Copies of this chain bind each other. A is one copy, B any other.
């Protein structure tokens, strides 16, 4: 499948590399590809500079948000939640129309200090805002409840014995995303319902962040244990 991964941070890179390794044709989308490709300073999360990373991942393309989205069959929104609507606007509603968009972002708001709060929250979610802003796109919220490493390699913790959620209005799009998740190794995929259920998935972030603090590792996940 031709997949556009919008966002070149840790999440975008990790997803792009994993989807490329599965045989998909992946293009990373960014605001200014020249600036991104030229970046020689280390990644803020401690990874290699983007230029080195891209050279080491020969099969992965780089383009503007619009170029990446235009040429894709499926789009992943891995941009910073605060910038997601702008990034998708730059990709362009026409280029996103009819496509499945997997929204893995979280609306974290650091403006009030640490820990971040959510914006939107409670009566609204970023997943819903994206769906409403791009009504012809088939938005599925997923993967936002775990670290990037676990998104693409769930087996690294407890052999993959934990859960991932999907929320969206389009049943066909959820089937596509379910298959993509299974191809990454996810076993317990729980369909929460329509896109409004993204509120619940996004609102676990404050607990995730506290758990990250006390466990001292991002290698953990939620498992929904039932009888």
Contacts and interface: CB of A to CB of B under 8 A. Distances in A.
14 contacts: A117-B123, A121-B122, A122-B122, A156-B227, A157-B225, A161-B225, A191-B214, A192-B211, A200-B204, A200-B211, A203-B206, A222-B222, A222-B224, A223-B224
Contacts of A121: 121-122
Contacts of A197: 210
A162 interface: yes
A8 interface: no
Interface residues of A, number: 41
Given A201-B207, A211-B224, A222-B222, 6 more contacts: A158-B226, A162-B225, A190-B211, A192-B214, A200-B204, A221-B224
A118 B204 CA distance: 13
A226 B157 contact: yes
A4 B211 CA distance: 31
A207 B204 contact: yes
Contacts of A158: 225-227
Interface string A131-173: 0000000000000000000000000111001100100000000
Given A222-B225, A227-B220, A117 B122 contact: yes
A199 B206 CA distance: 7
Contacts of A156: 227
A160 to B, nearest CB: 9
A215 interface: yes
A70 interface: no
A200 B192 contact: no
Nearest to A226: B220
Determine which residue in A118, A206, A220 has the highest number of CB atoms from chain B within 10 A of its CB, and name it. Answer: A206
Contacts of A67: none
B190 A200 contact: no
A106 to B, nearest CB: 13
A165 B157 CA distance: 21
A23 interface: no
A210 B193 contact: yes
